[in-house]
């Protein structure tokens, strides 16, 4: 017993080992070892800073950072000073940083500068604002599936945004002599349904089948916010007078007004509706019009509804009584009227004042809408209306006469969306069901 006591009283290293409570506990719990070990005399004790505990029993260590000479510890086992120092250095080493997978395509692809934009686009010269578009001047390729929405920036008139069923949102520097696709936002993990520019600065809003609306900073090429919902989001629209508010409509028929500053819903509009196809604010932003899919139910009076924004109630739900869905709603830039693109292969005209009556004597017809989400748009001066068509043509109508002024062959596939340039009425952008984006002048 004296020999055994002496062997445990003297460590193999030169300096005595400080004993902690954890060690006493582990040694006491081991029946094959003595219950106590003699302490050094008080004058011989040398206290050291408390070290971090040893790695747990049978814990795995990274082969890139661990040494094969370090054994796995277990309760009751003696650890020498050399092993303690090595374990302490490993435990205090900074953890290995996990590298996030890189995005398949970089966000920033080119310059958004207007240095190469034609002078007549920036100067807004009146001599270039006459005539009708007659030829395709720019072809923008990049989408691999159908393009669902396009939108010109009103603050940077040389930039065009597009969204597609391939899940991509692109920003194009249309007149650049170099790289035209200058931003690529691949943050949606499902097809994208709509894209809209904010009227203030370089902010872009998109939505899609991943049940989110996403806000992007185009200048920096980053996503700034994501707004999650419990439904597929099919359409978004910024408030005309407050860039911090936007309206969203989804597949479950819910309409929500979001505040970007708080990332919360400030108003909700609930009614037994089908999937929301489009929304449009009226001037002043106190009312908006919604269009929903009524093909699966016999409630045609809910196809077009006028809402009060603040009171969250419908002002009229018997605006359009025909059993056709309307994939696009647009308000006239000057007159108090709005139009609804109908799957009955025509565009209906409504009064924007109560009781929001349908004009039974005028309509725009001749183009084909049935089967596709064909959109239309007024020119900035309100003198003409341009519409896509499922036959691949662009149709230009006179606003007051409703007569067909011009018909342009754009694609072999359906022309889904069209948008007048915010400065030049003789420039029109359009997109097709086969993934093409074009600009006509």
Please tell me the distance from the alpha carbon of residue 235 to that of residue 174, in angstroms, as a whole number.
24
HEC string of the chain equals CHHHHHHHHCCCCCCCCCCCHHHHHHHHCCCCCCCCCCCCCHHHCCCCCCCCCCCCCCCCCCCCCCCCCCCCCCCCCCCCHHHHHHHHHHHHCCCCCCCCCCCCCCCECCCCCCCCCCHHHHHCCHHHCCCCCCCEEEEECCCCCCEEEEEECCCCCCEEEEEECCCCEEEEECCCCCCCEEEEECCCCCCEEEEEECCCCCEEEEEECCCEEEEEECCCCEEEEEEECCCCEEEEEECCCCCCEEEEEECCCCEEEEECCCCEEEEEECCCCCCEEEEEECCCCCEEEEEECCCCCCCHHHCEEEEECCCCEEEECCCCCCCCCCCEEEECCCCCEEEEEECCCEEEEEECCCCCCEEEEEEEECCCCCCCCCCEEECCCCCEEEECECCCEEEEEECCCCCEEEEEECCCCCEEEEEECCCCCCCEEEEECCCCEEEEC
Residues 302 and 383 in one domain: yes
Range of the domain at 42: 1-91
Q: Does residue 78 carry a pLDDT above 50?
A: yes
Asked if 183 and 233 sit in the same domain, the reply is yes
Long-range contacts of 32-40 (CB under 8 A, 24+ apart): 33/8, 33/76, 34/4, 34/5, 34/8, 37/8, 37/9, 38/5, 38/8, 38/9, 40/16
Report yes or no on 99 lying in a domain.
no
Structure-token pair, residue 128: 């270039």
Same domain, 374 and 231: yes
Tell me if 107 is assigned to some domain: no
Check if the beta carbon of residue 418 is closer than 8 Å to that of residue 410. Answer: no
Cα–Cα distance for residue pair 280/118, rounded to 1 Å = 32
289 and 426 inside one domain: yes
Q: Which residues, in sequence order, are bridge partners of residue 440?
A: 136, 428
| Residue 155 placed within a domain | yes
pLDDT given for residue 125 in this prediction? 44
253-260, long-range: CB < 8 A, 24+ apart? 253/292, 254/229, 255/279, 255/290, 255/307, 256/229, 257/309, 258/213, 258/227, 260/215, 260/225
Q: And the tokens for 23? A: 């060690």
Q: How far is CA 48 from CA 19, 73, 373, in A?
A: 10, 21, 75
pLDDT for the residue numbered 307: 95
pLDDT at 24: 41
What mean pLDDT, rounded, does the chain reach?
Answer: 81
Contact 262, 279 (CB under 8 A): no
Residue 14 has pLDDT above 60, yes or no: no
pLDDT tens-digit series, residues 86-133: 666 655 544 444 333 334 447 899 889 877 776 666 655 444 445 788
Are 396 and 309 contained in the same domain? yes
Residue 429 has what pLDDT? 97
Each residue's pLDDT tens digit, 367-426: 999 889 999 999 999 999 999 999 999 999 999 999 999 999 999 999 999 999 998 888
Lowest mean pLDDT among 28-42, 46-60, 223-237, 418-432: 46-60
Is 213 a domain residue? yes
Asked which of 38-52, 216-230, 346-360 is least confident by mean pLDDT, the reply is: 38-52
Tokens found for residue 440? 């006509």
237 and 312 belong to one structural domain: yes
Least confident window among 1-10, 102-111, 163-172, 184-193? 1-10
When pLDDT is cut at 50, 70 and 90, the band that residue 271 belongs to is confident
Per-residue pLDDT at 433 exceeds 70: yes
Distance of CA 29 to the CA centre of its chain: 59
Specify whether the CB–CB gap between 360 and 371 falls below 8 A. Answer: no
- Look at residue 37 in the predicted model and tell me its pLDDT: 52
- Per the CB < 8 A criterion, the answer to whether 441 and 177 are in contact is no
Mean pLDDT, residues 195-223: 95
Chain centre distance of CA 90: 42
Asked if residue 257 and residue 377 are part of one domain, the reply reads: yes
Percent of the chain with pLDDT over 70: 72
pLDDT band at 300 (very low <50, low <70, confident <90, very high): low
Q: Could you tell me the two tokens for 190?
A: 């499902």
- Residue 76 sits in the same domain as residue 125: no
- Asked whether residue 282 is domain-assigned, the answer is yes
Name the band, by pLDDT with cuts 50, 70 and 90, for residue 69: very low
Lowest-confidence segment of 283-292, 295-304, 370-379 by average pLDDT = 295-304
Q: 191 with 248, same domain?
A: yes
Q: pLDDT band at residue 321, thresholds of 50, 70 and 90?
A: confident
pLDDT of residue 52: 45
Same domain, 149 and 62: no
Instruction: Check which CATH number belongs to the domain holding 247 and give it.
Output: 2.130.10.10
- Residue 349 belongs to some domain of the structure: yes
101 inside domain: no
Give the tokens for residue 19.
């004993």
Query: Does 62 share its domain with 125?
Result: no
Residue 214 has what pLDDT? Answer: 97
Task: Quote the number of domains for the chain.
Answer: 2
Q: Is residue 199 part of a domain?
A: yes
Taking Cα atoms as reference points, which of 271, 268, 251 lies closest to residue 259? 268
What are 178-201's pLDDT values in tens digits? 889 999 999 999 999 999 999 888
Of residues 93 and 292, more confidence is placed in 292
**Residue with tokens 């603050």, as numbered in its chain:** 155
More confident call, 58 vs 314: 314
Peptide bond into 355 cis (omega under 30): yes
pLDDT at 370: 87
CA dihedral of 254, 260, 265, 270, whole degrees rounded to 10 = -30
Are 248 and 332 found together in one domain?
Answer: yes
Q: What percent of the chain has pLDDT over 90?
A: 60
């Amino acid at each position: 017993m004296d020999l055994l006591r002496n062997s445990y009283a003297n460590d193999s290293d030169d300096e005595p080992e400080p004993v902690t409570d954890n060690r006493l506990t582990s040694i006491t719990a081991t029946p094959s070892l003595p219950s106590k070990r003699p302490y050094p005399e008080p004058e011989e004790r040398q206290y050291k800073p408390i070290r971090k505990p040893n790695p747990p029993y049978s814990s795995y260590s990274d082969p890139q950072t661990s040494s094969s000479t370090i054994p796995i510890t277990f309760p009751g086992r003696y650890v020498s000073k050399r092993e303690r120092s090595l374990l302490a250095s490993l435990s205090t080493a900074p953890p290995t940083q996990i590298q996030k997978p890189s995005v398949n395509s970089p966000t920033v692809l080119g310059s958004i500068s207007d240095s190469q934009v034609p002078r007549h686009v920036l100067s807004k010269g009146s001599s270039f604002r006459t005539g009708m578009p007659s030829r395709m001047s720019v072809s923008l390729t990049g989408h691999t599936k159908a393009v669902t929405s396009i939108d010109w920036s009103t603050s940077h008139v040389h930039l065009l945004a597009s969204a597609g069923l391939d899940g991509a949102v692109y920003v194009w520097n249309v007149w650049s002599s170099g790289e035209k696709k200058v931003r690529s936002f691949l943050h949606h993990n499902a097809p994208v349904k709509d894209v809209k520019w904010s009227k203030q600065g370089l902010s872009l809003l998109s939505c899609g089948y991943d049940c989110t609306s996403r806000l992007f900073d185009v200048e920096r090429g980053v996503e700034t916010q994501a707004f999650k919902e419990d439904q597929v989001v099919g359409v978004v629209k910024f408030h005309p007078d407050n860039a911090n508010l936007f309206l969203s409509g989804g597949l479950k028929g819910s309409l929500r007004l979001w505040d970007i500053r708080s990332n919360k819903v400030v108003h909700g509009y609930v009614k037994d509706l089908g999937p929301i196809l489009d929304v449009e604010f009226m001037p002043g932003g106190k009312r908006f019009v919604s269009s929903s899919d009524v093909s699966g139910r016999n409630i045609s009076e809910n196809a077009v509804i006028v809402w009060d924004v603040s009171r969250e109630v419908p002002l009229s739900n018997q605006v359009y009584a025909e059993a056709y869905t309307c994939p696009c709603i647009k308000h006239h830039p000057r007159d108090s009227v709005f139009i609804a693109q109908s799957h009955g292969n025509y565009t209906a005209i409504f009064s924007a004042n109560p009781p929001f009556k349908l004009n039974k004597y005028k309509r725009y017809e001749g183009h084909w809408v049935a089967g596709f989400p064909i959109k239309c748009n007024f020119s900035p001066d309100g003198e003409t209306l341009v519409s896509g068509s499922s036959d691949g043509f662009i149709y230009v109508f006179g606003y007051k006469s409703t007569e067909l002024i011009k018909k342009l062959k754009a694609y072999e596939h359906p022309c889904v969306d069209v948008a007048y340039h915010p400065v030049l009425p003789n420039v029109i952008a359009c997109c097709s069901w086969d993934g093409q984006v074009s600009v006509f002048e």
